[in-house]
Structure 1
Amino acid sequence: MTVFVTVVGKVPLAAANVANRNLQAQLAATNAANRNLQAQLDAMNKKLDDLTQEVKDLQSRLKISGPASKQLDSLKELEEYLQVQETTLIGFFGGDSSLKLTFQAYADKYREKKRFGHTSAADLLKKYGVTDGIILFRAPQYANKFEENQVEFDGSGIEELTTFVKGNFHGLVGHRTRDNAAEFNRPVVVAYVKNPEKTNHWRSQMLEVVPPYAGMFSFAISSKDEFQHEHNEYGYDYTGDKPVVLARDERNQKFIMKDEFSIENLKAFLDDLKGGKLEPYLKSEPVPEDNNGPVKVAVAKNFEDLITNNGKDTLIEFYSPWCRDCKKFFPVYDELAEKLADEDVFIAKFDATANDVPPEFEVRDFPTLFWLPKDSKSKPVKYEGIHEVNELLKYIAKHATIELKGFNRDGEPKIVD
């Protein structure tokens, strides 16, 4: 006799477990997809910025015509010319001189980026007390009690004039835009404002603090919306109406003023920044729990321990998870690491979209590989060769600090008797 036994409830429970695992897998996949989309968006925004600047540069070159500097023959002309909300350089020349030639050469060189005027009118030379000189007039909307509205150049050559303009053009706190962002050199402290109409109000607040720090930092105020991508780089979400203050030092390390904006808090932040008392912000993935594969995974948090201080020659790949070339290269890189598994060479990879890239590495596209000799990790060498196993093996064999055990300097396998 055949007996059939039915187990009540087991099948539905198993199905529920399967469904739950499927749901968790879908959620994990969705989270990964979101991270990849954000990385792609950040990269696209960077490319858009670069393309926008290229277009503006091209437009500037195409529209250049006429003299680089406007001739001003009367006080009325000069005053009207200076009412435009742009910083302007005016040359005052009673006759021909070497400084006049310097001014003309500088104006011609920077005509698409700066605004110039010149005069030889006797009444204007007398009014400004200059017969052979150059005066920088700051944009009228930036007038304040902490600095002069006009500054006279006291040098002679074009290099000195370039330095003078660079140091005085934006004043103590400049208005930083996408067009001029590169003019604010690190270390730089930027206050990001939510409402552009209050830019001058918050700039005035900064001016109460920054004069003693002039020369130590560049200071600027920027629109939060125009530089949203920079907030993303700091992992910071803008809240409230007061400015957010972010900074970068000479090494491009990032710092956040965590306290609410105020004159007192800004001064405390600058003192701590000056004194090296602040911890830089580091965008990083979690340190991998399992890192036993042939290619080690480096992230920003473990970079120093895993890469800088590993005591080995190191090859590191900077990649993006959505990059097609990177995906093609992954199996090549894995095969290389397996071939070198018994060598004193460290093979690693680093997601450059999810982690802050250390400042000594210049990564502009993916994948990018760097070779780090074990005795000079501070001087990484960019690999410019073909991304194939044999070519990479030859490169490592040739540049290894100590000759590889299994390969000669030409990358050929050693013959074992």
Structure 2
Amino acid sequence: MQKVHRIALGLLAAAAIATASDVVQLKKDTFDDFVKANDLVLAEFFAPWCGHCKALAPEYEEAATTLKEKNIKLAKIDCTEETELCQQHGVEGYPTLKVFRGLDNVGPYKGQRKAGAITSYMIKQSLPAVSDVTKDTLEEFKKADKVVIVAYVDAADKASSEAFSAVAEKLRDDYPFGVSTDAALAEAEGVKAPAVVVYKDFDEGKSVFTEKFEAEAIQKFAKTAATPLIGEIGPETYSDYMSAGLPLAYIFAETAEERKEISEKLKPIAEAQRGVVNFGTIDAKAYGAHAGNLNLKTDKFPAFAIQETAKNQKFPFDQEKEITLEAIKTFVDDFVAGKVEPSIKSEPIPEKQEGPVTVVVAKSYNDIVLDDTKDVLIEFYAPWCGHCKSLAPKYDELASLYAKSEFKDKVVIAKVDATANDVPDEIQGFPTIKLYPAGAKNEPVTYSGSRTVDDLIKFVAENGKYKASVSEEAEEPSAAPAASEEASSAEPAAETKEAAKEADHDEL
């Protein structure tokens, strides 16, 4: 009997170990005390049915275990059970991740949803904007992340220190920043104060800045030096490239060997255009569907294209031509000189508008959406998107109400198939709804409320120039709270649209 008892205890212990988690699950009565007791907490607000939450779960667990030794806590809150707590913290989609430094200092998590990215981001959050670096701590500081930035300045040089600190405050979410006033250490590192050194675990290993110490120049140098000469474009790096503010040149190829071969061939171009155009390879087998987003054929590789990220313009290189150093150099040089016209994918302009919602295509986008005399509410949708299909009858009703109102010539309710038309907007998922107010077309407002007719009317009335409010003809059934499964960031998708449909993924 004792043997059976020991076996049972052993099985229970094994089960406890198997289910042990370093992520702390919080409830309304434990949340405040936990946040107050810990200097830094990353909290995930989730729903058990959310597909993106399920995908995040193992990454979140791994990050929690890694960060445990640094005393950085990761927590989660089930919003189907803790509705009041989630509403209190403004949760509108799942998963929502927030960084807490006490209850009064809360900010959004801006990193990627992978274990390494979560770990890196939270370690940077735990550090001061600028850490003091000495000869004893420098080597350890260099290992804090893939890229770390250190300034070597004289103790009396306040102007240089302030310029560097300004950059550190602005980019603290991206890189760890350190400063040393030790002249001997600077000399040992091959520089003389004032200087900035970007240490990195790729390319040449480090880059040095010794020009005039101005915040803008330092920031530009840091972002350029911290970007691989020819990096890898994928789910973990895509948003960084999109936010870099530079055009992105894609090298599509199906094998690692071919990507390496083409990269070596085009390396002189990437070096010549460093800081002007970013270059990256992309796995055409895994992410070949993304070629279609750049107006390339999705079944002919290798391929090359440039995306002007700021304007969302696409410049595909002719896929019938061979990718050679000379041909790509000419193409890139012409692009930089403004000699290449962007490729615009557009459906034909409708001969007449059928139905209450105005159909917009790429060729009519500027004429309709940017008409400065009208408030324009536009839905960016995908034909395969389930949420878009659910919204359609409500959106039709909304358009009918405005068409019959006194605002029929002042408010336009429109939609565009963002998979078949190039649009200048950065669309993170489907459906995305934006209001372009009359007289303020450069300041569109993105809708994030419940997808009900009444709430959409309130949104137009509150944010449009004409404060146009109309009444519903019939009372709508009460809707669930606004929170819905969030579309993932617009990264190169490994799935076809058909696969995305089957998996119920409403994402680019």
Please say whether Structure 1 and Structure 2 have the same fold, judged by a TM-score greater than 0.5.
yes
Structure 2 counterpart of 1:202, one-letter code:
I
Aligned to 1:344, the other structure's residue is in SS state coil
CA distance 1:113–1:197, shift in 2 (3 Å) = farther
Match of 1:382 in 2: 445
Query: How much has 1:392 moved relative to structure 2?
Result: 6.6
Inter-partner Cα distance in structure 1 for 2:110 and 2:143: 32
Partner of 1:359: 424
Identity %: 16
1: CA distance between counterparts of 2:144 and 2:465? Answer: 59
Distance (whole Å) between structure 2 residues aligned to residue 282 and residue 295 of structure 1: 23
CA distance in 2, matches of 1:85, 1:198: 29
Please name the residue that 2:343 is paired with. 281
Return 5+ residue gaps in structure 1 as ranges: 1-39, 402-408, 413-417
Residue 409 of structure 2 corresponds to 344
Q: Secondary structure at the match of 2:197?
A: strand
Corresponding position of 1:222? 281
1:220 alignment partner AA: F
2:329 is matched by which residue type in structure 1? K
Task: Quote the residue 2:330 is aligned against.
Answer: 268
Gaps of 5+ in 2: 1-50, 56-93, 96-108, 472-508
Match of 1:163 in 2: 220
Return the alpha-carbon distance in structure 1 between the equivalents of residues 258 and 176 of structure 2.
25
User: So what's the TM-score if we normalise by structure 1?
Assistant: 0.61
SS of the counterpart of 1:209?
helix
Cα 1:101–1:199 change in 2 (3 A) is farther
Kindly tell me: are residues 388 and 363 of structure 1, through their superposed partners in 2, closer, same or farther at Cα, counting changes over 3 Å? farther
Equivalent residue number for residue 359 of structure 2 = 297
Aligned length: 349
Kindly state the Cα deviation for residue 261 of structure 1 after the two structures are TM-superposed: 1.4
- Pair 154,273 (structure 1): closer, same or farther in 2 beyond 3 Å: closer
Give the drift of 1:280.
2.3
Residue 207 of structure 1 pairs with residue 267 of structure 2: yes
Say whether the 8 Å CA contact 1:297–1:348 is kept in structure 2: no
Shift of 1:292: 3.7
Contact preservation (8 Å) 1:103, 1:158: yes
Q: Secondary structure at the match of 1:208?
A: helix
Distance 2:314 2:362 in 1: 13
1:247–1:360 Cα change, 3 Å: closer
Q: What's the CA shift for 1:400? A: 5.0
In the TM superposition, residue 263 of structure 1 has moved relative to its aligned partner by 1.4
Per-residue Cα deviation, 1:247-303 (whole angstroms, up to 9, x for no partner): 226422111111331112112212432344434233444444553433332222333
- Aligned twin of 1:154: 211
User: CA distance change for structure 1 residues 193 and 100 in 2, over 3 Å: closer, same or farther?
Assistant: farther
CA 1:118–1:111: 2 relative to 1, 3 Å: farther
1:326-341 aligned within 5 A:
326-340=391-405
**Counterpart Cα distance in 2 of 1:202 and 1:72:** 41
Identify the structure with bigger relative contact order (alpha carbons < 8 Å, sequence gap 6+). Answer: 2
Deviation at 1:53? Answer: 0.8
Structure-1 separation of matches of 2:299 and 2:263:
19
Q: Which moved more, 1:149-158 or 1:80-89?
A: 80-89
8 Å CA contact 2:194, 2:213 repeated in 1: no
- Flag the structure with larger Rg: 1
Shift of 1:92: 4.8
Query: CA contact under 8 A between 2:151 and 2:196: conserved in structure 1?
Result: yes
Aligned mate of 1:60, from 115, 120, 124: 120
Deviations 1:4-43 (A, max 9, x none): xxxxxxxxxxxxxxxxxxxxxxxxxxxxxxxxxxxx99xx
Give the equivalent residue in structure 2 for 1:5. Answer: none
CA distance in 2, matches of 1:230, 1:69: 43
In structure 1, the residue corresponding to 2:355 is in which secondary structure?
A: coil
Partner AA of 1:234 in structure 2: L
- The 8 Å contact of residues 172 and 211 in structure 1, kept in 2 or not, is answered as yes
CA distance in 2 between partners of 1:342 and 1:353 (Å): 27
Say if 2:375 and 2:465, in contact at 8 Å, map to a contact too.
no
Match of residue 245, structure 1, among 302, 305, 309: 305
The answer to whether the aligner puts 1:194 opposite 2:259 as a matched pair is no
Q: Separation in 2 of the partners of 1:410 and 1:347?
A: 13
Q: Which amino acid aligns with 2:397?
A: V
Structure 1 segment 11-160 matched on structure 2, within 5 A:
53-54=112-113, 56=115, 58-63=118-123, 71-72=134-135, 86=146, 89-92=149-152, 98=158, 110=172, 113-114=175-176, 120=182, 122=184, 125=187, 128-130=190-192, 133-137=195-199, 139=201, 142-143=203-204, 150-156=207-213, 160=217
Distance 2:241 2:258 in 1: 20
Q: Render the CA deviation track for 1:320-361: whole Å, top value 9, x for unaligned.
A: 352265135134224325414994346342234434463258
Instruction: Measure the CA separation in 1 of the matches of 2:446 and 2:122.
Output: 38
- Given the superposition, is the C-alpha separation of residues 71 and 332 from structure 1 closer, same or farther in structure 2, using an over 3 Å criterion? same
1:78-128 deviation digits (Å, cap 9, x = unpaired): 7x9989995554555687864578768977974874586969584872672
